C-alpha cells in the first residue's frame, strides 16, 4: 500500500539490530560504529494476528497469508543533519517518504558499545533528533513562504496561504512539532502537508531499547522517556533489541517460554508491528477458504467495494454485494456454513463500512 514506518535514531542505539529482528533476516548490517547503514534498508514484515490461526484451525487451508507492513531502516542521524552533517540531508529525505516514525532510543548502560554523545541520556538524544527534524521542516516551510510571497502580489488566496505557512514556521521555530500545531486538522494544513510531507507532522512511536534486566522493570531512562512520550501523545514500546534478535531463531513455543522467563508477555517487536499498523490507520478483513486463509489490508472506514478492490479491481467495478460474517460469530459457530445456519451471515451493499476482522466473500459481475 506504499505505507512505511521509518526507524530513526542516533548512531549505535540498536536500530539495525531491531530491524534485523523485525525482518527475521540479517539483511541490515549491524556494527559498533556510526553510519554502518548508508542506504535505507527496506523490508516487508508480516503482521502477527492470532485470528488467522483461529480461522485456519477451522478451515485447514493450504496456505495462510498475513497482512504486511513496510519498515525502512534509516541511517543514524547526528547534530547538524538538517545542514547536511553525517549525510543528513539524504537521511532526512528518506524519513520524509515514510508515514510513521519509530524512534529507537538507547536506555541501557554498556561500556562496550560506543555512544556518539559520550553518555546515556534518552531525553538529550530525543532532543537532538527532533531538533533536526524541526529545523529541516522550518527550512522547507520558509522556501514555500518565499515562493508564495511572489504569488501573493496578485492572488489573495496565495497571501492567505503564505500567512498560514509563516505561522506554522514560527510555531516550529519555537521548538514545537507540526503535529501539535493548533490547526493541524484544518483543510489548509492537510493540503499543504500533502505536498510538503513535514517530518514533524508524522506520528512517532518511541522504542526504548533496554538490556535484559530492564525488560521486567522500568529503569530511570525508560521512565523519563515515557514521560516525554506522554506529553507528546505518543506511544512508547520497551524492547531489548538483543533479545529480539535471539528470538528470531526460536519457534513460537520456544519464543513464548523465553519471554515468560524474562517476565514479558509479548515481544517488543510484536507490539511495534501491531501498534504501527494501527498508527497507519490500517486494519484487516479476512477471506477464508480451503485454498487460502488471508488477511487483507485496508484503511479504517473503507466501504465494501473499495475493500473488494484490494483483491482485484474488477471486484469493485462489478460489485453487487458482500457476504459478511463477523469474526467472533465465525469462530463461535465453527465456520461459514454453521454461521449461515445460525443466521449470522449478512448481505451488505455498497455503503457498508467494513469492520476489523470481518470474514467476507464478494459477489460481482463484470
Q: Strands, DSSP E only, in the chain?
A: 4-8, 41-46, 63-65, 68-73, 100-106, 203-209, 235-239, 282-288, 292-299, 319-325, 345-348, 359-364
Cell of 343: 443466521
Residue 289's contacts (CB-CB under 8 Å, 6 or more residues apart) are 59, 61
Q: Give residue for cell 506554522.
A: 168
pLDDT digits (tens, 9 = 90+) for 289-312: 999 999 999 999 999 999 999 999
**What is the β-pairing status of strands 68-73 and 63-65?**
unpaired
Model confidence at 339: pLDDT above 90: yes
Residue 215 has pLDDT above 60, yes or no: yes
Q: Which residues are registered as beta bridge partners of 361? A: 323
Q: What is the mean pLDDT of residues 341-354?
A: 97
Grade residue 33 by pLDDT with cuts at 50, 70 and 90: very low
Strand partners, 65: 294
Q: For the chain, which domains are there?
A: 4-279 (3.40.50.300), 301-364 (3.10.20.30)
The total number of residues shown for the chain amounts to: 366
Return the C-alpha cell found at 62. Answer: 493450504
Whole-prediction pTM value? 0.83
Q: What is the pLDDT of residue 36?
A: 42
> Span 96-111, mean pLDDT?
90
Give the lowest-confidence range in 141-145, 156-160, 339-343, 361-365. 156-160
Model confidence at 27: pLDDT above 60:
no
pLDDT digits (tens, 9 = 90+) for 307-325: 999 999 999 999 999 999 9
Task: Say which residues have a Cβ less than 8 Å from residue 16's Cβ, sequence separation at least 6.
Answer: 28, 29, 30, 31, 36, 37, 41, 73
96 Ramachandran zone, left/alpha/beta (phi>0; psi -120 to 50): alpha
Amino acid at each position: 500500500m506504499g505505507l512505511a514506518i521509518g526507524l530513526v535514531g542516533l548512531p549505535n542505539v540498536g536500530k539495525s539490530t531491531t530491524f534485523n529482528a523485525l525482518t527475521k533476516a540479517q539483511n541490515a548490517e549491524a556494527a559498533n560504529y556510526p553510519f554502518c547503514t548508508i542506504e535505507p534498508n527496506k523490508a516487508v514484515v508480516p503482521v502477527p494476528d492470532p485470528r488467522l490461526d483461529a480461522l485456519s484451525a477451522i478451515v485447514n487451508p493450504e496456505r495462510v497469508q498475513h497482512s504486511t507492513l513496510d519498515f525502512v531502516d534509516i541511517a543514524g542521524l547526528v547534530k547538524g543533519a538538517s545542514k547536511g552533517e553525517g549525510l543528513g540531508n539524504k537521511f532526512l529525505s528518506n524519513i520524509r517518504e515514510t508515514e510513521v516514525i519509530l524512534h529507537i532510543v538507547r536506555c541501557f548502560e554498556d561500556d562496550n558499545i560506543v555512544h556518539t554523545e559520550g553518555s546515556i541520556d534518552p531525553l538529550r538524544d530525543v532532543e537532538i533528533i527532533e531538533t533536526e527534524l524541526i529545523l529541516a521542516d522550518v527550512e522547507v516551510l520558509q522556501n514555500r513562504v518565499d515562493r508564495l510571497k511572489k504569488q501573493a502580489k496578485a492572488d489573495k488566496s496565495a497571501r492567505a496561504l503564505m500567512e498560514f505557512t509563516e505561522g506554522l514556521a514560527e510555531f516550529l521555530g519555537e521548538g514545537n512539532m507540526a503535529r501539535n500545531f493548533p490547526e493541524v486538522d484544518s483543510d489548509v494544513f492537510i493540503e499543504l502537508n500533502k505536498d510538503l510531507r513535514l517530518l514533524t507532522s508524522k506520528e512517532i512511536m518511541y522504542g526504548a531499547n533496554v538490556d535484559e534486566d530492564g525488560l521486567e522493570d522500568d529503569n530511570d531512562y525508560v521512565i523519563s522517556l515515557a514521560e516525554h512520550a506522554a506529553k507528546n501523545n505518543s506511544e512508547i514500546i520497551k524492547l531489548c533489541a538483543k533479545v529480539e534478535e535471539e528470538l528470531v531463531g526460536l519457534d513460537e513455543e520456544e519464543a513464548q517460554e523465553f519471554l515468560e522467563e524474562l517476565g514479558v508477555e509479548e515481544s517488543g517487536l510484536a507490539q511495534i508491528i501491531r501498534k504501527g499498523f494501527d498508527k497507519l490507520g490500517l486494519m484487516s478483513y479476512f477471506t477464508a477458504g480451503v485454498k487460502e486463509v488471508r488477511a487483507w489490508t485496508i484503511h479504517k472506514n473503507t466501504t465494501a467495494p473499495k475493500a473488494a478492490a484490494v483483491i482485484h479491481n474488477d471486484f469493485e467495478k462489478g460489485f453487487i454485494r458482500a457476504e459478511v460474517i463477523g469474526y467472533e460469530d465465525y469462530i463461535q459457530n465453527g465456520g461459514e456454513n454453521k454461521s449461515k445456519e445460525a443466521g449470522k451471515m449478512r448481505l451488505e451493499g455498497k455503503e457498508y463500512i467494513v469492520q476489523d476482522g470481518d470474514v467476507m466473500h464478494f459477489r460481482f459481475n463484470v
